[in-house]
Every structure is written in structure tokens, then in C-alpha cells.
């Protein structure tokens, strides 16, 4: 018991447990409300919301040109704050440009993509894009301060408010418009709470005088992020959103709704454990790198632990998917369970490679990460296209898309491990 308590007292593990606890609480609230919400709104409304969120996720990745990810890296707090201001300014400029684009081209965009169902919500996109960018900024500031308990509390409160609003307002008007409105409210609430929590500055950021840092200098010094990381994030978001966008255009909004629900349920372990580990792992790996400490054992331990956690969860879903979805959400959602069987394979590997995301920034692998992102998009799109055009079957499209995701995830883990190994070998030789 003494050894067990000592193990739990380790800062890294304690922070992971804190983040995972917050994510678990937030997801538990979502799952409690899910049977109510799915019976109120139905597959088509969820499909429209999924299409809207897919566009948001694609645009949000480039809304601040990936500058928020750099906030953790500077040793100087003044430079970190300058990166925050730079990120917010960039997001406002990009959202303004998006507004003008939509004013002139919203009609042709809808016609080309066959997304008439979300045309009424297009002009909400710039607002949600700004909010999502500011959410990245505030989260990275709290991660820099290692305020993991604050992030956990915010996750739980935001989930409770959003789900209560979704269920309560659904009794009045169970429409896609209501889902989009509540989603926008959730982004705003999250940003506001993170901002309030971030005002408590860590003592390490109080050291030394506050310096005036040029935003232009920060933009140039961290130019790898807009040049390489932002395109990679855009490719990843497009790749993740492809099934909803393609399924909606080829088979209708209800099919997109089945996929959206299946992915949201199966993504729970990734957000609960994988993202929690990644958020804590990122600053620790950065410190280890700066101190010249061994990196490969830490990286492999994180990968192995996530694999052990995810294997039983995703195996159970691969076996019981249709039955579980029909029981939990109603008989009309059984197709989502069939999708879940194939998605479980891809999302298991997505869970395992979560630590790679932050590591690439620390190791300066932005260009390699971008190349890997291009390959991942090509593999996933090829799977979707074959399932849609050759087999003309939505289930085949989801299955082949998942297979492409597995290949891409395995390649990323191998690439990062190889880079760490080479770097440590060069250190030893020096």
C-alpha cells in the first residue's frame, strides 16, 4: 500500500488522473443524457448538427494558424502571453475574411456540396470559429500553468449546462437549429470559464519583470506552426470530417447522423484517457527535452499504457456494437452500432497515438507531421471513395475509411519513435 500511494503521488500520474476524472465526469453526463436527447431529436437532426460541426472543426484548425499550440513552449511568460494575443488577433482576422466569403459565395458552396440542410447556419460559422480558436488559446494557457484541476472542473460544468439545455430545449423544439444554438452556447461558456480560471497566474510566471514582446517577432519565431502544423491540422480535421460530409452528400443526413453518434460514443475513451494523457504528457516531454533527460522510455510507456487501456474497451464495442446502440438509444439507431464495429478499430489506434501529437511540436517535426497528414488524408479518402463509388454501400465506406486510419496511426507512432531514437543516439555519440 505504501508503494501504491507513492505511485499515485507522482505528479505526472496525478495530473493524468485529474484530467481523466474531469473528462470522465463530462462524458458521464453526456451519456446519461444521450438516451433522452437521441429520442428527442432523431438521426436527421443529429446529421445536420454533425455536418455543421464538421465544417467548424475544419475551419477551427486554421482559425489561429496553430499558434495556440506554441503557448506551452516559451520559457518566458511574456512571450507566452504575446502568443496568446497573436492567436486571438489572427482568429478574428480569419473569421472576418470567412464572413465576406460566405456573403458572396454561400449559395454556390451549398449547391456544390449538396448541403442545403445547413444553409441557414452558415453565417453562425465565423462566430463559432472564433470561439473555438479562443478555446484553444485558453486551454493551452491553463496547460502551460499546469492548471489541470481547473480544466477538469470546466469540462464537467460545461457538459452539464450544455446537456441540460439540449434536453430541456428539445422538449420545446427538437430541431437541428436548437442543437446548433446549444453547441454555440457551449463554446462560449467554455471560453469564458477557461478565461476566468486563467487569471490566477502561477508563481513561476510571476518571476521577473513583464516584458513587452513584439507580436511580429513571435509570429516569425514560431512560423513552423502556420507553415507546417496548421496545414497538418487542417488535413486531420478534413480527414476526420470526411465521413460525415461524404455520407451526408451521398446517402442523406440520417446516415451522417448514424456516423456522428457512433463516433461520438466511441471517441469517449480517446477524450477521456487519450487526450488527458496527451495534455499532461506534452509539457512534461518538453521539460525532459530541455533538461536532456531520456525521452524514448517515457514515450513508449505512454503508448503501451494507452494500448492496454483501450484494447478491452474497443474489443467489446466491436463485438456488441449493434446490440448496445439499439438498447441504449433505440431501435432506429442500430445502424450506428454497425458503424461502431469498424470505427472501434480505427479509434483504438487513435487512442494509442495521442502522445505523438505534442511530441512532434517539441521535436520540431512539423514538416514530417504534415507529410504524414497528407498520407493519412489520402488513405482515408481512398477508403471512402471505394466504399461509395465502387461498392455503393455506406458500411463499406466506413469500414475502408477506418482501415486507412489504422495504417496512418501506426505510421505516425513508428515515425515519432524513430525520430526520438535517432536524437538520443546522436546525444550519446556527442
Supply the pLDDT for residue 84.
94
Q: Mean pLDDT across the stretch 111-136?
A: 82
Within 61-175, residue ranges assigned H as helices are 77-113, 125-144, 148-172
Supply the pLDDT for residue 294.
80
Percent of the chain with pLDDT over 70: 91
Supply the pLDDT for residue 305.
84
Supply the pLDDT for residue 206.
47
The model's pLDDT over 177-223, given as tens digits with 9 standing for 90+, comes to 898 899 999 999 999 999 998 876 544 444 445 567 889 899 999 88
Q: Mean pLDDT across the stretch 399-427?
A: 88
Residue 7 has pLDDT above 80, yes or no: no
**Rounded distance between C-alpha atoms, residue 71 and residue 86, angstroms:** 10
Supply the pLDDT for residue 16.
67
Supply the pLDDT for residue 96.
94
Q: Mean pLDDT across the stretch 106-121?
A: 71
The torsion angles phi and psi of 63, rounded to 5 degrees, stand at: -65, -30
* Angle at the Cα of 265 from the Cα atoms of 264 and 267, rounded to 5 degrees: 65
Grid coordinates given for 264: 461520438
Residue 1 has pLDDT above 60, yes or no: no
Which pLDDT band, with edges at 50, 70 and 90, does 11 fall under? Answer: low
Stronger pLDDT, 124 or 206, i.e. the higher one = 124
Which pLDDT band, with edges at 50, 70 and 90, does 429 fall under? Answer: low
The model's pLDDT over 33-43, given as tens digits with 9 standing for 90+, comes to 888 888 888 78
Q: For CA atoms 276, 282, 287, 289, give the dihedral sign.
A: positive
Range with lowest mean pLDDT among 4-8, 272-276, 410-414 = 4-8
Supply the pLDDT for residue 326.
86
**Rounded distance between C-alpha atoms, residue 273 and residue 21, angstroms:** 9
End-to-end CA distance of the chain: 43
DSSP secondary structure string for all residues of 295-328: -HHHHHHHHHHHHHHHHHHHHHHHHHHHHHHHHH
Which pLDDT band, with edges at 50, 70 and 90, does 239 fall under? Answer: confident
The model's pLDDT over 52-73, given as tens digits with 9 standing for 90+, comes to 887 888 888 888 988 998 898 8
Amino acid at each position: 500500500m505504501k508503494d501504491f500511494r507513492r505511485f499515485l503521488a507522482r505528479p505526472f500520474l496525478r495530473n493524468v488522473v485529474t484530467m481523466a476524472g474531469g473528462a470522465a465526469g463530462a462524458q458521464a453526463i453526456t451519456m446519461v443524457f444521450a438516451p433522452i436527447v437521441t429520442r428527442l431529436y432523431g438521426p436527421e437532426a443529429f446529421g445536420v448538427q454533425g455536418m455543421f460541426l464538421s465544417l467548424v472543426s475544419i475551419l477551427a484548425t486554421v482559425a489561429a494558424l496553430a499558434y495556440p499550440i506554441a503557448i506551452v513552449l516559451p520559457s518566458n511568460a511574456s512571450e507566452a502571453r504575446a502568443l496568446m494575443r497573436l492567436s486571438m488577433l489572427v482568429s478574428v482576422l480569419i473569421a472576418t475574411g470567412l464572413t465576406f466569403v460566405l456573403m458572396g459565395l454561400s449559395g454556390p458552396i451549398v449547391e456544390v456540396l449538396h448541403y442545403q440542410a445547413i444553409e441557414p447556419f452558415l453565417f453562425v460559422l465565423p462566430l463559432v470559429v472564433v470561439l473555438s480558436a479562443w478555446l484553444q488559446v485558453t486551454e493551452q494557457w491553463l496547460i502551460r500553468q499546469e492548471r489541470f484541476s481547473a480544466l477538469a472542473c470546466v469540462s464537467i460544468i460545461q457538459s452539464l449546462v450544455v446537456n441540460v439545455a439540449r434536453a430541456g430545449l428539445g422538449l420545446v423544439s427538437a430541431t437541428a437549429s436548437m442543437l446548433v444554438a446549444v453547441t454555440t452556447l457551449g463554446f462560449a461558456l467554455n471560453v469564458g470559464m477557461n478565461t476566468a480560471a486563467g487569471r490566477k497566474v502561477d508563481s513561476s510566471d510571476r518571476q521577473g519583470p513583464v516584458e513587452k514582446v513584439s507580436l511580429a517577432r513571435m509570429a516569425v519565431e514560431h512560423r513552423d506552426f502556420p507553415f507546417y502544423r496548421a496545414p497538418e491540422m487542417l488535413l486531420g480535421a478534413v480527414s476526420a470530417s470526411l465521413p460525415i460530409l461524404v455520407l451526408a452528400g451521398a446517402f442523406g443526413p440520417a446516415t451522417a447522423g448514424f456516423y456522428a453518434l457512433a463516433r461520438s460514443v466511441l471517441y469517449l475513451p480517446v477524450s477521456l484517457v487519450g487526450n488527458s494523457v496527451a495534455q499532461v504528457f506534452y509539457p512534461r516531454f518538453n521539460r525532459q527535452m530541455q533538461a536532456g533527460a531520456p525521452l524514448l522510455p517515457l514515450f513508449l510507456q505512454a503508448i503501451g499504457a494507452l494500448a492496454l487501456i483501450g484494447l478491452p474497451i474497443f474489443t467489446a464495442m466491436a463485438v456488441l456494437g449493434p446490440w448496445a446502440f439499439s438498447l441504449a438509444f433505440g431501435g432506429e439507431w442500430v445502424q450506428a452500432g454497425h458503424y461502431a464495429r469498424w470505427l472501434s478499430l480505427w479509434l483504438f489506434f487513435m487512442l494509442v497515438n495521442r502522445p505523438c501529437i505534442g511530441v512532434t511540436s517539441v521535436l520540431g517535426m512539423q514538416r514530417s507531421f504534415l507529410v504524414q497528414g497528407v498520407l493519412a488524408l489520402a488513405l482515408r479518402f481512398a477508403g471512402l471513395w471505394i466504399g461509395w463509388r465502387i461498392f455503393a454501400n455506406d458500411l463499406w465506406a466506413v469500414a475502408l475509411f477506418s482501415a486507412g486510419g489504422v495504417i496512418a496511426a501506426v505510421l505516425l507512432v513508428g515515425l515519432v519513435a524513430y525520430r526520438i531514437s535517432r536524437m538520443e543516439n546522436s546525444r550519446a555519440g556527442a
